[in-house]
């Protein structure tokens, strides 16, 4: 009973549904408003070949069904759902196929970032396809190492999506307080405005977003803004109306419980979820 309640409450807010058609339909709703969609299949730390194949099949299906050259459609892939928990070679082989198929449709591909012990391999996976301009890497502001990682990636022409981070990490690896995470986020963001041409600010924090918009009045960089589906849809719509490039990150799939629990544990997300329910965020 509790599980059913949680599925209705959380999955209905964040998760598009179990299937590819569900996420494409949710994406189209945003697209009609001029807002992009970042489609992500749920599942991580996969080691069973069947599960990895299923994940790959879902991305193949998305890339078969989406419209070619649609600037409002992107996908985001977790390394451990395409084989990184088995080997880097497997992940690179599968990622290469996704990038190739996405390239045929002219669709941008993101690599999601997972736990801190996977950062080096994830960067290596991303860099294996970095000559392709239509890929980017998620980086997490709560990790102490991220400023240096961003510097290294930016110097090589990489594109990053800056998030705060949602995994449980030791204090020597990650900042714990909201104040420290926000400070690191803003410092990294400022570096990007000074040194990168294109990047994504992924945050529900209006103070951070409005600071980015103010900076960009002078810097005039190619900045994308992204938020998790169902949390601050109305703010996302307003950003688009104001002329910003806005995207909704839309997860889909049957493995929603682990994802949803982690989102609720992330600083501030439970409060945002409650506000989204009270004020309504449907589109």
Give per-residue burial for 96-115: e unless 16+ CB within 10 Å, then b. Answer: eebbebbbebebbbbbbbbb
Distance CA 66, CA 64 (A): 6
Task: Report whether pLDDT(260) > 60.
Answer: no
Task: Classify 2-279 by CATH class.
Answer: alpha beta
The pLDDT confidence band at residue 2, using thresholds 50, 70 and 90, is: very low
Q: Quick one: DSSP state of residue 11? A: I
Does 220 have pLDDT greater than 90? yes
For the stretch 66-77, pLDDT in tens is 999 999 999 999
* Mean pLDDT across 258-273: 54
pLDDT in tens, 104-154: 999 999 999 999 999 999 999 999 999 888 999 999 999 999 999 999 999
Q: In this predicted structure, what is the pLDDT of residue 194?
A: 98
| Domain ranges, ordered by start, for the chain | 2-279
Residue 215 has pLDDT above 70, yes or no: yes
* Cα torsion 45, 84, 63, 66: sign: positive
Question: Which candidate, 110, 169, 163, places its Cα nearest to that of 139?
Answer: 163
The pLDDT of 59-64, averaged and rounded, is 98
Concatenating the DSSP letter of every residue in 27-83 gives: HHHHHTTT-EEEEEE---S--SHHHHHHHHHHHHHHHHHSPTT-TTEEEEE-GGGTT
Collapsing DSSP to helix, strand or coil, 10 comes out as helix
Note the pLDDT of residue 127: 97
Q: In the beta sheet, which residues pair with residue 41?
A: 252
Percent of the chain with pLDDT over 70: 85
Least confident of 29-38, 105-114, 145-154, 261-270: 261-270
Q: Mind listing the pLDDT tens digit for each residue in 242-255?
A: 999 999 999 999 86
Residue with more model confidence, 29 or 262: 29
Q: Which residues contact 207 (CB under 8 A, 6 or more apart)?
A: none
- What is the average pLDDT score of the chain? 90
Work out the pLDDT band at 241, boundaries 50, 70, 90: very high
pTM of the model: 0.91
pLDDT tens, residue by residue, 221-231: 999 999 999 98
> 92: pLDDT confidence band, cut at 50, 70 and 90?
very high
Please state, for a pLDDT cut of 90, what percent of the chain lies above it: 81
How far apart CA 257 and CA 241 sit, in angstroms, is 33
Mean pLDDT over residues 91-105, rounded?
98
Considering only CA atoms, which of 280, 281, 262 is closest in space to residue 112? 262
């Amino acid at each position: 009973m509790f599980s059913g309640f949680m599925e209705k409450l959380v999955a209905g807010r964040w998760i598009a549904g179990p299937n590819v058609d569900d996420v494409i339909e949710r994406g189209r709703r945003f697209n009609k408003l001029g807002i992009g969609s970042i489609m992500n299949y749920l599942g991580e730390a996969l080691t069973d070949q069947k599960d990895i194949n299923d994940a790959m099949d879902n991305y193949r299906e998305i890339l078969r069904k989406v419209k070619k050259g649609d600037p409002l459609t992107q996908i985001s892939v977790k390394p451990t759902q395409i084989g990184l928990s088995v080997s880097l070679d497997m992940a690179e082989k599968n990622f290469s196929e996704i990038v190739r198929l996405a390239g045929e449709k002219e669709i941008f591909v993101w690599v999601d970032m997972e736990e801190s012990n996977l950062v080096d391999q994830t960067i290596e996976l991303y860099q294996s396809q970095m000559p392709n301009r239509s890929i980017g890497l998620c980086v997490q502001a709560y990790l102490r190492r991220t400023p240096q990682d961003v510097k290294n990636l930016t110097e090589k022409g990489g594109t990053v999506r800056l998030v705060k981070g949602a995994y449980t990490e030791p204090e020597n690896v990650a900042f714990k307080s909201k104040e420290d995470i926000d400070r690191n986020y803003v410092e990294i963001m400022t570096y990007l405005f000074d040194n990168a041409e294109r990047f994504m600010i992924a945050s529900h924090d209006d103070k951070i977003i409005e600071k980015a918009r103010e900076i960009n009045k002078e810097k005039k960089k190619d900045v994308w803004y992204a938020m998790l589906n169902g949390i601050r849809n109305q703010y996302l719509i307003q950003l688009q109306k104001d002329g910003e490039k806005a995207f909704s990150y839309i997860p889909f799939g049957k493995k929603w419980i682990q994802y949803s629990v982690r989102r609720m544990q992330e600083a501030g997300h439970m409060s945002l979820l409650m506000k989204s329910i009270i004020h309504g965020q449907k589109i």
